[in-house]
Amino acid sequence: MTEEPPLGQDAPPVQFDAAAPVTGQGRMDAAWGSTAGDEDLSTPVANTPAASGEIFSQEYKPWNGELNPRWMRNWAILRHHLLGIFKKGHRPWGMPTRLFILVVFIASLSNAGLTLISGLIGESTLHQLWGVSRDNLYGHVLGFFPRNVLYYPIIAALLVGSVISEDRQHGTSALYFSRPITRFDYVGMKFISVAVIQSIIVLLSLTLYYFAEIIALGRGWAWIMDTFPLFLAAFLSGVMLVFTYTSIGLALSSVSKGKFFPGIGLLSIVLGTKVLAVLVSTLFDREILYLLSPYDCMAHVGQTLIGTQPTYDQYSWTWSLASVIAMNAIALYTLSARVSSMEVTRE
């Protein structure tokens, strides 16, 4: 038995031999302890014998398998956002958002329903009000009330509110960019997802409205040849509307980390600039502020494309077109710059 040092005295220092081999065992000498094994304590490494422990060596081996093609990775992002509107297992869109989209889609088909009713009952007065015409095609896409004050901007605000901002807030970008997904594909699929949902409301309802006229009243090829250019012009105006609302909304979503700011910001830009331009035009008879309003610029271009009576007389429609292009360019630049700064960790 070894003697313990007297009370008040330190234990003798332990001598270490640098040339001694590393065996994976450790020794603990205590100043106060018993001789029942305290002088021979060892920590065996897992899955190794206790008598001769070994240091575990972890080696990284890269995966040499084949990746899915690029279109399949992009389809996974698109499907995650798009199918979440219709069924579970994808992006969890809120029930109020789903219900509002359904209500707006049904309300957008009101003129198609009235056209079908006028064709069934043979009421010419009702058809003159709601049937396919130059003004009605323009109003279906770019009518301010109720479509561009209650329907389309609110739908865009609900969709873009958390598409990118939640990725910045919760660090979900780490799940995207840790895979072989480029930032261009990331932005592109987010953009297409929001644009497709809006197109279902704006463009699909426009198409159903046009074909409802053909089916209800049995229109022939002569009528189709006369009105189809008007339908294409209205369809092009709808594409411009969807693209502009999506680009501005995603730009606001990329600079935010919450749902509230992008949605309110989009409504403020679309409706606030419209109200301000109307006030200035009414009080000072100046329409120059209409160039700052996304809706008014698109309405001016749409009136020229479809050929309806213009409501903007103090400047040419080319200024409105240039303003729409500039707004989309600024929004897309902001979106690309912000997404380029996103890291693969929580920000």
Q: How many residues are listed for the chain in this entry?
A: 347
Exposure string (b/e) for 276-315, b if CB count within 10 Å is 16 or more? ebeeebeeeeebebbbbbbbbbbbbbbbbbbebeeebeee
Question: What does the pLDDT average to over 154-183?
Answer: 86
Question: What does the pLDDT average to over 140-144?
Answer: 96
User: Mean pLDDT, the chain, as a whole number?
Assistant: 85
Whether 243 and 297 have beta carbons less than 8 Å apart is answered as no
Confidence band for 131, pLDDT divided at 50, 70 and 90: very high
Cα 290 from chain centroid? 28
Query: Looking at 5-14, 227-236, 329-338, which range is the least confident one?
Result: 5-14
Q: Is the pLDDT of residue 19 over 80?
A: no
CA distance 16 to 145: 88
CA distance 11 to 141: 90
Question: What does the pLDDT average to over 18-47?
Answer: 49
Convert the pLDDT of each residue in 111-127 to its tens digit. 999 999 988 888 888 88
Which carries the bigger pLDDT value, residue 230 or residue 35?
230
Confidence band for 210, pLDDT divided at 50, 70 and 90: very high
Instruction: Map tokens 């980390």 to a residue.
Output: 257
Alpha helices in 164-272 (DSSP H): 165-170, 173-177, 183-217, 221-254, 260-267
Q: Where are the domains of the chain?
A: 79-340
Convert the pLDDT of each residue in 50-100 to its tens digit. 455 666 677 767 777 787 899 999 999 999 999 999 888 888 899 999 999
Q: Is the pLDDT of residue 347 over 50?
A: no
Which residues touch 159 (CB under 8 Å, ≥6 apart)? 97, 194, 197, 198, 249
CA distance 342 to 254: 9
Closest by alpha carbon to 2, among 26, 28, 36? 36
Largest CA distance in the chain: 117
Exposure string (b/e) for 121-159, b if CB count within 10 Å is 16 or more? eeeeeebeebbbbeebbbbbbbbeeebbbebbbbbbbbb
What does the pLDDT read at residue 37? 47
Question: What does the pLDDT average to over 229-242?
Answer: 97
What does the pLDDT read at residue 311? 92
